[in-house]
Amino acid sequence: MKRKDILELKRRFKKDQCTFTRVCGCFVNSEKKIILELRETFLNLDEDDYFKYLEIAKKVLSGTIDNNILELGFPKNSEGINNKQLSLIQLKKSKLKNDDLLDDFYKSIIDSYDYTGNYLILIFHDAYDVITKTTDNLKLDESDEVFEYVICAICPVSLSSPGLSYYEEENKIKSRIRDWIVEAPINGFLYPAFIDRGADSNSLMYYTKNTRDIHPELMENALGCFSKETSAIQKDKFQSIIMDSLSADEEEANKLYMEIQENINDMVEEHKSMSDDIDTEPIKLTKINLQNILLESGVPKDNTTKIEDFYIENFNDNLPLAENLLDEKILKVNEQRKKERNLEKQVDFLKNKLEQFDLKDDDKDYDIILHVKPEKAQEIKSQIIDGQEYIIIPINKNEKTTINELK
């Protein structure tokens, strides 16, 4: 799944480019009962409603890949079939005109979704003529594929905040009437996934607004997919594995974790620099990679073995991408810490220099102070030239001199 595929779809969610055919949905109360159902031809919507629905659909394709947007696959039974996947295919092919399929779809979400409160389920249908790009990636040829898909959004519905309001007709200020507001979606999906500018019916794009509250029950039970962790969850889990395995000295453990983060970042940057292709597969943090990073970071051998075992135990076969484990805040703190450490070293160096040239109390009465090697001292003599006394220091060919640190 690539960012450019998502942006290609998202760019079409505008008045002059949108080709949505239909929008359907239902309003579910806190007792999991359907209060209202809607079925609308998209082009027949009032203009204000049209743009608000577009904004909701666009939100489902927003955020960061592997964090807000996850590519989920479908497990198959012994006969190579996934019934939830078949239901989505039928729903897409019906163009949202089959009420029974829609009712089954709503029921599947309502029965599975672990959410307290009212919410609105919306589902859109679209058919996109995918324009073929020429080899120069600039000119466009005619369409050779139609990408037909559905996009679903689950939006909380909550009461507006209490407060005072101005009523123009009465020319009064009084308590405003509270109404139910449809908020931006917190979960959703696009099926089939749009991969390499084409449909992949064996996967879908899942959206979660909260990257730590991702509703795996929706992924598994309602959609029939393998659940997947966001990079935020993977990052938290990785940090817990490291910190729980290190020294009880919190300060020392934090320093080691900063070094680990720095070395992971170096590995990611090195991997990227080895290829000019922006679509190069990101590097995963394998057990060998982790072992090398821990040793480079100065983690004791006993702790290294413990961390490796916990890492494999927690992530199993779903090893995370190395870049998903990077904590930008920690990297910035570590960078600042290194700058401060270098500054301290420079200050210490300058202090030492000053101490070397700091005059002793006994020397302060002298205008000229010479520092020479002992073997050179015996060559120095004084001599009166034209009535002026001079100090004569012979300088041989390979000898170096400094006067007040000037060479």
- Identify the residue with better confidence: 67 or 349: 67
Whole-angstrom Cα distance, residue 90 to residue 97? 11
pLDDT at residue number 403 = 75
- Cα 258 from Cα 296, distance rounded (Å): 12
Buried b / exposed e across 173-200, counting CB within 10 Å, b at 16+?
eeeeeeeeebeebbbbbbbbbbeebebb
* Per-residue confidence (pLDDT) for residue 250, from 0 to 100: 84
Mean pLDDT, residues 161-168 taken together: 90
The answer to whether residues 322 and 284 touch, using CB atoms and an 8 Å cutoff, is yes
Q: What is the DSSP letter of 285?
A: -
Round to whole Å and give the CA distance between 313 and 305.
Answer: 12
Residues 6+ apart with CB under 8 A from 264: 285, 293, 322, 325, 326
For residues 88 and 224, give the distance between their C-alpha atoms in angstroms, rounded to a whole number: 10
CB 215 within 8 A of CB 227: no
| pLDDT, tens digit (0-9, with 9 covering 90-100), for 166-209 | 989 899 999 988 899 999 999 999 999 999 989 999 999 999 99
Give the model's pLDDT for residue 139.
52
Concatenate the DSSP letters of all residues of 174-237 into one string.
EEPPP-EEE---SEEEEESEEETTEEETTEEEEEESSTT---HHIIIIIS-PPP---HHHHHHH
**pLDDT-derived band of residue 283, with 50, 70 and 90 as boundaries?**
very high
Distance CA 267, CA 286 (A): 12
Cα gap 396→385, rounded to integer Å:
22
Give me the pLDDT at residue 136, please. 62
Q: How confident is the model at residue 353 (pLDDT cuts 50, 70, 90)?
A: low
Residue with tokens 């990679």: 289
Q: What is the pLDDT of residues 79-127, one digit of tens each?
A: 888 999 999 999 999 999 999 999 999 999 999 999 999 999 999 999 9
pLDDT attached to residue 334: 83
The residues, any chain, with a CB within 8 Å of residue 150's CB and separated by 6 or more, are: 88, 91, 92, 96, 123, 124, 125, 126, 190, 191
Nearest residue to 267 via CA among 290, 235, 240: 290
The predicted pLDDT at position 208 comes to: 97
Give the mean model confidence (pLDDT) for residues 348-372. Answer: 67
Q: How many helices (H) and strands (E) does the chain have?
A: 11, 14
Range 141-156 average pLDDT: 88
- Beta-bridged to residue 382, according to DSSP, are 391
The answer for residues whose C-beta is within 8 angstroms of residue 30's C-beta and 6 or more apart is 116, 117, 118
Q: How confident is the model at residue 151 (pLDDT cuts 50, 70, 90)?
A: very high
- Three-class SS state of 321: strand
Instruction: Find, among 20, 204, 13, the residue nearest to 125 by Cα.
Output: 20
Q: Which two tokens stand for residue 17?
A: 């480019």
Size of the chain, expressed as the number of residues it contains = 407
Mean pLDDT on 255-267: 93
Which amino acid is present at 296?
A: E
Using the predicted structure, report yes or no on whether residue 163 has a pLDDT greater than 80. yes
First to last CA, the chain: 62
Looking at residue 249, its pLDDT comes to: 80
d(CA 224, CA 238): 27
- Greater confidence (126 vs 394) lies with 126
Confidence band for 354, pLDDT divided at 50, 70 and 90: low
pTM for the model stands at 0.78
pLDDT of residue 85: 96
62 within 8 A of 136, measured Cβ to Cβ: no
Share of the chain above pLDDT 90, in %: 60
Let me know: does 206 contact 189? Beta carbons within 8 Å: yes
What pLDDT, on the 0 to 100 scale, is given for residue 29?
96
- Domain residue ranges in the chain: 3-228, 232-326
Q: Cα–Cα distances in Å, from 216 out to 166, 311, 399?
A: 44, 21, 77
Q: What confidence tens digit (pLDDT) does each residue in 324-341 have? A: 999 999 898 888 888 888
Residues 232-251: what's their mean pLDDT? 89
Between 145 and 229, the more confident residue is 229
Query: Looking at residue 400, what is its pLDDT?
Result: 81
Beta bridge partners of 40: 23
